Amino acid sequence: MSQAPAASEAILEPDLPIIDPHHHLWDLRAVVPAFPEPHHPFVAALAGAAHYTFDALHADTHSGHNVIGTVFMECGAFYNASRGEALKSVGEVEFVNGVAAQGASGLYGKYRPCAGIVGHADLTLGDAVKPVVEALLAAGGGRFRGIRHSAAWDADREVLGPPFHAPQGLLGSAAFREGFAAYGEHGLTFDAWVLEPQLGDVLDLARAFPDQSIVLDHCGTPLGIASYHGKLHDNFDRWRRAIHDLAECPNVCVKLGGLAMPFCGMPDDGPAKGQSSEHLAGLWRPYIETCIEAFGPDRAMFESNYPVDRWGASYPVLWNTFKRLTSGASAGDKHALFAGTAARIYGIGDLLKGG
């Protein structure tokens, strides 16, 4: 087991229980050098964390904060091509369930990595996605909690860079919505990753499927990169209106994080430039406070989005930033934001027993 890196700051509120509801596991060492735009900031972020599996996650989650458990988020890693195109994503869930079993062995204490697993299924398969979902549920060993089919798209191809190729208008397409409806019977969540100009697509989806649980990732991903560079202030009111509109849908909750991604430009210099939690709290406060005001603590949860957010913050500094942003919150609100909401949404409340 590798040693946890030393925190660059004193840990704030070290006993506060945390469930990290959004992180990845991958091995991209053979993939990153092949990207056609190696200097894109996101590719640079990946290059700094091209190998992120159990040891790296353990080191980060044990670097000072009281992380009692996590939720894995799909990222296209460890696919099993031998299963065929539709079912290859089952390999990722099989791998992650093994990591979860490793943590559940008790060898690492009460900490439970990947207690919940969110995988990928191609929802444009329509009704044919049902056997894929059933295979994902079986592979998850009781830990599978939801699906993410990323829909991030922008007309400016330089915003996202080479790893992402979602079609325009994915969430509104007939094929996607057929697939979205097809797995609704299982009571699984749907994690929605879109960019700020696309938030209306999530709103339309939430209104069309009011009984389906939707989690908006990364505060809706405000943009400060490429043609959006320097325009965060100009677009803030549009983002804020969209967040409040989404919050009117009781089936939607929000993840508070992802702002350290290079897409957001908060900070716009990285990776790992050593920004302090005080500085990051100043950058993120308008977004975090707007989301909490709109959704309330019971429909909002802090996330690390690691290792992607390593671009702007170390793991200890990231959670220090969140704690600074909630320094005046009640104990009950902190419990919800740092653990309780994630436990409820992803069905992993057992982590809080005795926590």
User: Which residues, at least 6 apart from 121, have a Cβ–Cβ distance to it below 8 Å?
Assistant: 89, 129, 132, 133, 136, 147, 149, 179, 183
pLDDT value at residue 31: 61
- pLDDT of residue 49 exceeding 80, the answer is no
User: How large is the angle between the packed helices 232-247 and 277-295, nearest 10 degrees?
Assistant: 40
What is the rounded CA–CA span in Å between residue 226 and residue 103? 40
According to DSSP, residue 306 is labeled B
Tokens 């007309």 sit on residue: 155
Rg (CA), the chain: 19
For 304-310, what is the mean pLDDT? 95
Residue range 320-333, pLDDT digits in tens: 999 999 999 999 99
Mean pLDDT for 32-47 is 66
State the pLDDT confidence band at 30, using cuts at 50, 70 and 90. Answer: low
pLDDT band of 274, cuts 50, 70, 90: confident
3-state secondary structure of 68: strand
Whether the predicted pLDDT of 216 surpasses 90: yes
- Whether pLDDT at 130 is above 80: yes
- What number is the average pLDDT over the span 153-169? 88
- For the chain, report the end-to-end CA distance as a whole number of angstroms: 25
Residue 50 has pLDDT above 90, yes or no: no
pLDDT band at 36 (very low <50, low <70, confident <90, very high): low
Per-residue pLDDT, 270: 79
State both tokens at 10.
Answer: 């004193």
Separation of alpha carbons 28 and 50, rounded Å? 5
Longest dimension (CA), the chain: 52
- d(Cα 127, Cα 177) in Å, to the nearest integer? 10
For residue 32, the model assigns a pLDDT of 61
Which residues are paired to 147 by β-bridges?
A: 119, 190
pLDDT recorded at residue 211: 96
Q: Percent of the chain beyond pLDDT 90?
A: 84
pLDDT in tens, 232-266: 999 999 999 999 999 999 999 999 999 999 999 99
Taking the C-alpha atoms of residue 338 and residue 319, their distance in angstroms, rounded to an integer, is: 9
Question: What's the average model confidence in pLDDT over 195-209?
Answer: 98
**Cα separation of 209 and 214, whole Å?**
9
What are the tens digits of pLDDT across the range 84-119? 999 999 999 999 999 999 999 999 889 999 999 999
* Nearest CA among 25, 50, 204, 39 for reference residue 102: 25
Judge: domain 17-352, CATH 3.30.2130.10. no
